[in-house]
Structure 1
């Protein structure tokens, strides 16, 4: 898929949850990985979809299907700022 096409919420959700499912226990992934999967390697392409990636990450975190990490610790999806990583919910 190229970076000029609109990425649907369904595509975003699937890509994000697929990457989360592939994470080793205790590991996280960079949200740019999601954007690169959907838009390609060019920063001009994947950079444009980072705002929708963030919105989907917040939605999935609020639903308990994903965890947003900030400085290695779970962050409040409604209040985090800055650089973040994503991971699957822990099954402790």
Structure 2
């Protein structure tokens, strides 16, 4: 596992979702922030996106746009995260 809280939030949320399923980065940000009812989770979104980039570069997750994997170097638009698919 990882010591980074944002990476842990992503991986834990993905594991709970199940194989071949994706999550929105906001779901991991909410988990990282303790699932607040207000908008305070938004402060956690930037660290989650940076953690997603790291995990994607390590080959542990995929970042998706329109259902297709994209480069972790270009994060814009509507994104989803999923565990790396086996070839």
Identify the TM-score tier after normalising by the shorter chain: 0.7 to 0.9
Distance, in Å, in 1 between the alignment partners of 2:38 and 2:56 is 25
Matched residue, 2:19: 25
Q: Give the TM-score of the pair, scaled to structure 2.
A: 0.84
Higher strand share: 2
Instruction: For structure 1, list consecutive stretches of 5 or more residues without a partner in the other structure.
Output: 1-8
Measure, in 1, the Cα distance between the counterparts of 2:75 and 2:26. Answer: 17
Q: How large is the Cα RMSD of the aligned pairs?
A: 1.6
Structure number, greater radius of gyration: 1
Distance in 2 separating the partners of 1:49 and 1:24: 23
Kindly indicate whether residue 85 of structure 2 is the aligned counterpart of residue 90 of structure 1. yes
Aligned counterpart, 2:7: 13
Tell me if structure 1 keeps the 8 A contact 2:30–2:44. no
Q: Look up the match of 1:53.
A: 48
Q: Which residue is equivalent to 2:69?
A: 74
* Equivalent pairs, count: 84
**TM-score (normalizing by structure 1):** 0.80
